[in-house]
Structure 1
Amino acid sequence: MPSVKIMGILNVTPDSFSDGGRHNSPELALAGAKRLIDEGADILDVGGESTRPFASPVSISDELARTIPAIELIKRHYPEVPLSIDTRNAEVAEAALAAGADMINDISALRHDPAMIKLAQETEVPVIIMHMQNNPANMQLAPRYNDVVQELYDFFQERLRRLEELGLDLERIIIDPGIGFGKTLAHNLSILKHLGRFRELGRPILLGHSRKSFLGEITGKRDQERDFATAVVAALAVNQGVSMIRVHRAAMVKEAVMIARAIDSAAD
């Protein structure tokens, strides 16, 4: 069974839904990075723009000021740990890669900023493309699908075709179904139930469900009390072929993944 990577979330923002304000200085970001690495995170995903529901865009200058000093400091202390830049903007991604980031995580699937495709072509780093209906400011107003799993499958199939047509090496592309991004509880559950379908696209799958509101709808827990629920979903996702799991806290999810992989690998 292929290994599963744990991506630790490091939001250097004042307003992210679960950890806003906790890492909004380079020193706080470094402390957060240390905690995630100690807990078992394999990759760190640094973001300077909140993409929670109803969030407003931030300026590129603010995004740069938040992310670049944090990336530089973390890379200085942990040069061996891969860093991802969570951004829709090519200017931010380019500066982050120059500062030491190793991959790009774009929630717009390289559609928000046309320059992002050229950057991805030139740098040849791994790129995560995510499905989102509309944008963070309005994605949760009234999400609608006739068949959410099929529509996401069609979206990724067409997006991969287009990116290949534009000259990107699909071997570097990771797909993220975008749990909570323009989806209701029912949509999220349907996607999770049928994650294995996306393996047919031939690309690694990232799951970013950590502490999302749909978990609270089911359990009644507040966002920072949803780590156990996050770990349960992670274990189920591993057995559907997910390659990377993006989380706020790594330790519990790391253990859940280890157990899930051990069971899946057991002799019949």
Structure 2
Amino acid sequence: MSINCKGTLIELSTPRVMGILNLTPDSFYDGGNYKNEADVLTKTEQMLTEGATFIDVGAYSSRPDAQHISEEEELCRITPIIELLVKEFPNIILSIDTFRSKVAKETVNAGAAMINDISGGNLDEHMMKCVAELQVPYILMHMKGTPQSMKNENKYKNMLQEILFYFSEKIKTARNLGINDLILDPGFGFAKNIPQNFELMNQLELFKNLDHPFLVGISRKSFIYKSLQTTPQGALNGTTMLHTVSLMKGASILRVHDVKEAVECVKLYQQLKQ
């Protein structure tokens, strides 16, 4: 199983690590950390050196109750950084964390290689068609509502059944549009409370039945640190434990703040498989 990123085939039979680069001032863990080009370059170089295959760049905070910003502000934050990173690291594979088709198009034209959409096309009716035209890999996540409303959208009759049905419908749409490389993200923390997140983790292997690689994004999230009665800063050990569980249940990509620790999880998991 592989995906095509700007002409480079990335094999996903060995799980990959995606490092997070937040350009937002209000993200829950590292908001406002990268205020200038030097900080961005230092962090990116560190993640690449530690073994990240992808760098996921976001300029719109998707934490609960996040401030809404315009398309123009999102592009103003993100486009110069993409140009900087592509110039400094010519072989970098950049994923863009956005739900807006205009941002997707302009960032891919600036050098990005894939799109990571928290809304699965639900917040911009043009997004999936845009991705098909760009012919880049598409990470399609499950979420209900918006970042501003999602914490009140966690009512399900049968959560796993509803999420699997959501993905089966989205896969059909993507296939009809001509999206070739599709990666699924169950959306930990998005319209899901603490027990629901653990239910999702406990049944994560079900997503292998959809015959597409899936990504797990749980790094330092509240269902981990609240369960451990700590903070995002104190949640690395819990994150690492659940990354291991995710790999054993079939995850192809781990989206993380802490690349070194996640890469070590992958290495030890590969040793177990052998």
TM band (smaller chain)? over 0.9
2: CA distance, partners of 1:110 / 1:26? 31
**What's 2:227 paired with?**
218
Secondary structure of the 2:151 match is coil
Cα distance in structure 2, aligned partners of 1:162 and 1:174: 14
Residues 239 and 264 of structure 1 are in contact (CA less than 8 Å); yes or no, is this contact kept in structure 2? no
Residues 11, 46 of structure 1: 8 Å contact kept: yes
1:72 Cα deviation after fit: 0.9
Could you report, residue by residue, the CA deviation over 1:79-131 in whole angstroms, capped at 9, with x for unpaired residues? 11210010011111111111110000000102211221222111110000000
Aligned residues: 263
Matched with 1:130 is: 141
Q: CA deviation at 1:253?
A: 1.2
Whether the 8 Å contact between 2:18 and 2:256 is mirrored in structure 1 is yes
1:235 matched to 2:244? The reply is: yes
Please list, as runs of the form range in 1=range in 2, the aligned pairs for 1:20-59 lying within 5 A after superposition: 20-59=31-70
- Deviation digits for residues 189-232 of structure 1 (CA, Å, limit 9, x no counterpart): 01111111011111000000001000012212210221221111
**1:10 is the counterpart of 2:16:** no
Scaled by the length of structure 2, the TM-score of the pair is 0.92
1:194 maps onto 2:203 in alignment: yes
Q: For residue 182 of structure 1, what is the amino acid of its counterpart?
A: A
Higher deviation after alignment, 33-42 or 6-15: 33-42
Contact 1:12 1:25 in 2 (8 A): no
Partner of 1:65: 76
Q: Is the 8 Å Cα contact of residues 25 and 66 (structure 1) preserved in structure 2? A: no
The 3-state SS of whatever aligns with 1:174 is strand
What amino acid is aligned across from residue 199 of structure 1 in structure 2? K
Amino acid at match of 2:72: S
Q: In the alignment, which residue of structure 2 is the partner of 1:209?
A: 218
Gaps of 5+ in 1: none
Gaps of 5+ in 2: 1-11
| Residue-by-residue CA offset, 1:234-262 (whole Å, 9 max, x unaligned) | 11111111100000111111111211221
Percent identity of equivalent pairs: 36
Task: Quote the offset at 1:138 in angstroms.
Answer: 1.3
The Cα shift of 1:142 comes to 5.2
Asked if the contact 2:20/2:56 (under 8 Å) is kept, the reply is yes
- Equivalent AA in structure 2 for residue 99 of structure 1: A
Q: 1:245 to 1:42 in 2, by over 3 A?
A: same
Matched-pair contact (CA < 8 Å) for 1:24–1:66: no
Per-residue CA distance 1:142-192 (angstroms, 9 max, x = gap): 511122111111110111112223x223x4110000000010111100111
Report the CA distance between 1:37 and its aligned residue: 1.3
CA RMSD of aligned residues (A): 1.4
The structural deviation recorded for 1:54 is 0.9
Question: Where in structure 2 are the equivalents of 1:99-248 lying within 5 Å?
Answer: 99-141=110-152, 143-165=154-176, 167-169=177-179, 171-248=180-257
